[in-house]
Homo-oligomer: A and B are copies of this chain.
């Protein structure tokens, strides 16, 4: 059976909730992309756990670790340390992977064209996000136009960003409302055994759960209590 959509599933909370939203409309194919990030092994496990949860038949895991050869980001270059988070700052952070989402979308759209799927879901978040330029809806609109011109006539592939305007706390609530398997997800940029609780991604996630008034089901190495009692 032709899947209705391709869902980009990193293994994090946002893509898990995007998958839960796509699942309401029909069968999906799941796409995971390894781009040479530090925590890839743990993310791939989360991807497969979430795919098992949704009984996904069509799965594809793709390696584009040439983004590591290209470098320019703390996520892919081992020489640049992933800093402790600071959600207040406004410039583009060092964890930005140059033009990464274009690579993810190109793969998803090629696969959608071959499978005959007409929707690509990506759990990108604009307002509450990390200031990445390739996480804004205007970028996705431009890419969707490029996709309509660069694929076979009639392919008609839409890029769906169901979380783009949501706050992290709304994403937590939406995931819980849809029964998304949030305990299976992985968000930390730095660690693979216990989430660090300190990087941008952990801080955003923890703030989301706190604002939603719900406890995060995963375990952290540093808890907010530890942070409070530090000198």
Contact = CB atoms under 8 A, between A and B. Distances in A.
Interface of A: 60, 62-64, 66-67, 69-72, 92, 96-103, 105-107, 109-111, 113-114, 133-134, 136, 138-139, 142-143, 145-147, 149-153
A212 to B, nearest CB: 30
A106 B109 contact: no
Nearest to A96: B152
A63 B102 CA distance: 16
A154 B68 CA distance: 23
A134 B109 CA distance: 13
Nearest to A73: B114
Contacts of A92: 152
Contact of A64 (B64, B136, B138, B146): B64
A111 B68 CA distance: 11
Contacts of A114: 70-72, 98
Question: Top 8 closest A-B pairs, CB basis?
Answer: A72-B114, A134-B150, A142-B146, A102-B106, A98-B113, A62-B66, A139-B149, A139-B150
Nearest to A71: B114
Contacts of A146: 102, 139, 142-143, 145-146
B102 A109 contact: yes
A69 B64 CA distance: 13
Given A63-B66, A67-B110, A114-B71, A149 B145 contact: no
A110 B96 CA distance: 11
Given A69-B60, A70-B110, A99-B109, A149 B153 contact: no
Contacts of A72: 110, 113-114
A229 B108 CA distance: 47
Contacts of A147: 99, 102
A148 to B, nearest CB: 8
Contact of A101 (B98, B99, B105, B150): B150
